[in-house]
A and B are shown apart, each in its own frame.
Chain A
Amino acid sequence: MDWLKQTRLTRLLTALLSTVAPLTHAEAQTFAKVGAVNPNAMGTPPGGADRTLTIGSSIVVKERVRTNDAGSTQLLFPDQSTLNLGSNSDMVIDEYFYNPEAKSGSMVASATKGALRYVGGQISHTSGVTITTPSAVLGIRGGIATILLALSESIAQLDPNLRGRVGNELVINHFGTVTIKNNVSQVTLRPGEATAIASVNQPIALPFKVTDASLQQILRTQTSRSGQSGGFGGRGSAPPGLVIPSPPGFGTANLANPARPPGTDPLGYTSVFSAGAGVSRNKFQTNQVQSVVPQAQSAMKAKTTSPPSYP
């Protein structure tokens, strides 16, 4: 937690000093760590020189992060969200603030090119995350989203919905809600939906679904390629025979069928039997009363025919 405490302390000091001095140090706040990296990925802090990112590198606010043709990286944020950057990406985290006590904050990023996948954490669960691209502004609530800047010919040809959209920005919502706005339109994506944006002044395409073949290619742009090891052991390529042993029981989860027809939840199931019993009980309780009517009639008859009693 040291890195987070440092961030909050720095922020506090910055706020206190801001009344007497310009915000010279505010931009140097550390907010993210590099969790994996394939060369070459570069970071350029505001006002600083280019530096090569390695596992454990700190990213400061407004630092520009770029990857080259073979590069990719994953950034870890204090709210437990992650951002995968694929090859030939270029982006800046313009603003990041997270309050762990309130489990809320804000994140604003701008991306100009490449392939990104954002997997949400506490911030996107509460207030939402904003990512600006050349053609639109994305609001992510939830949420997991993939962004391609821009769509390549090799991916577009795999998908009828993507043909004719080469060069467009592609946004896929995997979970949660993604709202995309530009100068002329707004589209909200539900989980599993995608859209394409040609430019900031053209209407955003109506939601569609991407094929598995195109998703396969998109996924490959956001992780290690064959022979890469994400910086494991400080190496640029996978060490021979690298094995990551998983613990016992890992990867053996049985998945429940998400379809819930009536009667499959415990309350619905038991209430069916109760409803059946309720119907027959109503009828039988009426029958029981009717069964004592002769007794009641006899009792009344006996009462009316018996001689009056005197105290």
Chain B
Amino acid sequence: MRSEARLPRFFAGRGRPGRILAGVLALWLANGGGASAQDAATEQQRLYDQMVRQPTNYDATFAFVKVATERGDYEAAIGALERLLFYNHDQPLVKYELGSLYFRLGSYALAKRYFLEALATPDVDAATKARIEASLQIVDKQSQPSRFSGFAQTGLRYQSNASFAPSSNTVRFNGADFGLPPTNGGKSDTNWFGLVGLSHDYDLQDQNGTVLETRFIGYLTQQFRLQDLDVGLFDVSFGPRLSVASEWIPGATIKPYVVGGSAWVDGARYLSSGGAGLSFAIPTRWDATLEPNVEWRRVNYVTGNPVLAEFNSGDWLTVALGSSLPINDRFKLDARAYYRRGDSSMNFQSFNQWAIEGALSYEFAPPLASIPQNWTISPFARLIRTSFDAPNPFIDPATTNAVNEWVAGITLDAPITTSFGIATTIQYDRSYSPLPNYRQNNLSILAGPTARF
């Protein structure tokens, strides 16, 4: 009941951005997105009817394939293109397109076969050949039972408020407001950062479709001026992913896992955590996969003062729902919402947290035809509300803290080769709270080279 009462406030936000986001979401849901999707479906049906009346009308067939592919209906496009191969078997572009459609379905054996058939066609052009060879490398990797992949980025990140100072430069302590000394005021800074994400899948190839999944993320920063802000963290998880209820929900999986991590600030360990979770992946008829997840973690803060550490340390229980919805072959919506309950020994550090976040990714052709990967631009937004159980007597015995933090930004992922590229992000954070300590804003800009394997 408590969470229900707070949800409307969460969406309304204490600031204009929250209301704008809610408004845009409501408008989209009310009409916009759904109407154009319906139009595309109608157009696909119209072209299909025309194609059935005139099967050898290849203009109609290509038009149908284009619409079906854009809608993500790859099977329909496959059926139409395979008919064109009945008419003329030596069509390298049709074979490449068939390979790419099977590739997108994850049907790698047939994708490989069509790619090889396209390569064997005498008049395959150089650009298609390059694309096929790049795709074949990925297909071979995806076809292995043991699959290792990674992502890394290094670069520079500028923050307008790197020291996380309150916007008013005022801090409340023991119920009274005090101005921050200049040494602790707001300061901008730039850091070097390194980010590494690794994943390993081992397919046991058993009847249950069991895949052992290991995931690792590591992050390191080094500030140019505020060196006591240097941060390092890692998080690692491991668990088997198993098919579940495959007769009723094809492709549905369940994954129990263990998880752990640690974080350092200014070279000293700041916290460590460990726990376990259970996640599901449930395909839907809209091509979106729903990913409910529940996770428990014990979080231990390590500070110089054991008493202070005890205030913060506690158990976190998180219930989340994530999904990735391919709207068409260009647009994809990633969304996630979670509720977290944090229990610590001191009730003023125990909290309820709700979060909702989304990113709309638009994939587009790179400016040069020689670049073998599409570029992606992703505006994103995140809203987090954290409500503590009781006033912190050290800060303000009369005021219970509740922080609304919203984040908005945009990322550009620009691969240059199959393995290397550049990524940049611009992000603005703003926090609202009844306590001045936690009212902040920060603009950050980061950029740097990326690597994928």
Q: Does B156 contact A (CB under 8 A)?
A: no
Q: How would residues 178 to 198 of chain B score, 1 for a CB under 8 Å from any chain A CB and 0 otherwise?
A: 111101100000000101111
Alpha-carbon distance A285/B209, docked complex (angstroms):
48
Q: Does A162 contact B (CB under 8 A)?
A: no
CB within 8 Å for A251 and B94 given contacts A121-B76, A188-B207, A224-B89: yes
Q: Does A49 contact B (CB under 8 A)?
A: no
Docked complex: B210-259 residues within 8 A CB-CB of A: 215-217, 219, 221, 229, 231, 233, 243, 246-247, 250-251
Q: Which of A82, A224, A254 has the most CB of B within 10 A?
A: A254
Which residue of the partner chain, among A84, A216, A244, contacts B113 with CB atoms under 8 Å? A216
Cβ A84 vs Cβ B233 within 8 A: no
Which residue of the partner chain, among B55, B112, B127, contacts A212 with CB atoms under 8 Å? B112
Q: How would residues 290 to 309 of chain A score, 1 for a CB under 8 Å from any chain B CB and 0 otherwise?
A: 01110110010000000000
Inter-chain contact count A-B, CB under 8 Å?
345
Q: Does B324 contact A (CB under 8 A)?
A: yes
Q: How would residues 404 to 442 of chain B score, 1 for a CB under 8 Å from any chain A CB and 0 otherwise?
A: 000101010000001000010101010000000110001
Cβ A259 vs Cβ B89 within 8 A: no
Which residue of the partner chain, among B107, B127, B166, contacts A191 with CB atoms under 8 Å? B107
| Stretch of B31-39, B340-348, B357-365 lying at the A interface | B357-365
Q: Does B56 contact A (CB under 8 A)?
A: yes
Alpha-carbon distance A260/B199, docked complex (angstroms):
8
Alpha-carbon distance A270/B444, docked complex (angstroms):
11
Cβ B176 vs Cβ A270 within 8 A: no
Interfacial chain B residues near A3, Cβ < 8 Å: 52
Q: Which of A84, A143, A210, A262 has the most CB of B within 10 A?
A: A262
Interfacial chain A residues near B193, Cβ < 8 Å: 273, 276
Cβ A232 vs Cβ B56 within 8 A: yes
Cβ A177 vs Cβ B250 within 8 A: yes
| Stretch of B2-10, B15-23, B263-271 lying at the A interface | B263-271
Cβ B55 vs Cβ A36 within 8 A: yes
Cβ B85 vs Cβ A262 within 8 A: no
Q: Does A310 contact B (CB under 8 A)?
A: no
CB within 8 Å for A119 and B75 given contacts A175-B107, A257-B452: yes
Interfacial chain A residues near B48, Cβ < 8 Å: 80
Q: How would residues 129 to 172 of chain A score, 1 for a CB under 8 Å from any chain B CB and 0 otherwise?
A: 00000000000011110000000000000000000000000000
Interfacial chain A residues near B365, Cβ < 8 Å: 254
CB within 8 Å for A261 and B52 given contacts A177-B250, A292-B180: no
Q: How would residues 141 to 164 of chain B score, 1 for a CB under 8 Å from any chain A CB and 0 otherwise?
A: 111000101110100010000011
Q: How would residues 237 to 257 of chain A score, 1 for a CB under 8 Å from any chain B CB and 0 otherwise?
A: 010001111110011111111
Which residue of the partner chain, among A4, A187, A293, contacts B173 with CB atoms under 8 Å? A293
CB within 8 Å for A288 and B180 given contacts A192-B107, A246-B93: yes
Chain B count of residues within 8 A CB distance of the other chain: 143
Q: Does A182 contact B (CB under 8 A)?
A: no
Cβ A288 vs Cβ B166 within 8 A: yes
Residue of A nearest to B198 (CB): A261
A203 CB to nearest chain B CB (Å): 13
Cβ B107 vs Cβ A244 within 8 A: no
Cβ A279 vs Cβ B171 within 8 A: no
Cβ A254 vs Cβ B308 within 8 A: no
Cβ B446 vs Cβ A1 within 8 A: no
Cβ A177 vs Cβ B197 within 8 A: no
Cβ A80 vs Cβ B76 within 8 A: yes
Cβ B233 vs Cβ A276 within 8 A: yes
Cβ B411 vs Cβ A288 within 8 A: no
Interfacial chain A residues near B298, Cβ < 8 Å: none
Residue of B nearest to A299 (CB): B176
Alpha-carbon distance A201/B107, docked complex (angstroms):
31
Q: Does A113 contact B (CB under 8 A)?
A: no
Q: Does A126 contact B (CB under 8 A)?
A: yes
A72 CB to nearest chain B CB (Å): 7
Query: Knowing that A269-B425, A273-B193, A279-B271 are A-B contacts, what are 17 other residue pairs whose CB atoms are under 8 Å apart, sorted by A's residue number?
Result: A36-B86, A80-B79, A141-B250, A223-B85, A231-B56, A242-B87, A250-B62, A255-B104, A256-B374, A259-B141, A259-B149, A264-B197, A267-B357, A270-B425, A291-B183, A291-B184, A299-B178
Q: Could you list 6 examples of A-B contacts with CB < 8 Å?
A: A3-B52, A225-B89, A266-B411, A269-B423, A289-B395, A291-B184
Shortest Cβ-Cβ A-B pairs, 8 listed: A230-B86, A251-B93, A82-B79, A263-B197, A36-B86, A262-B197, A259-B149, A177-B250
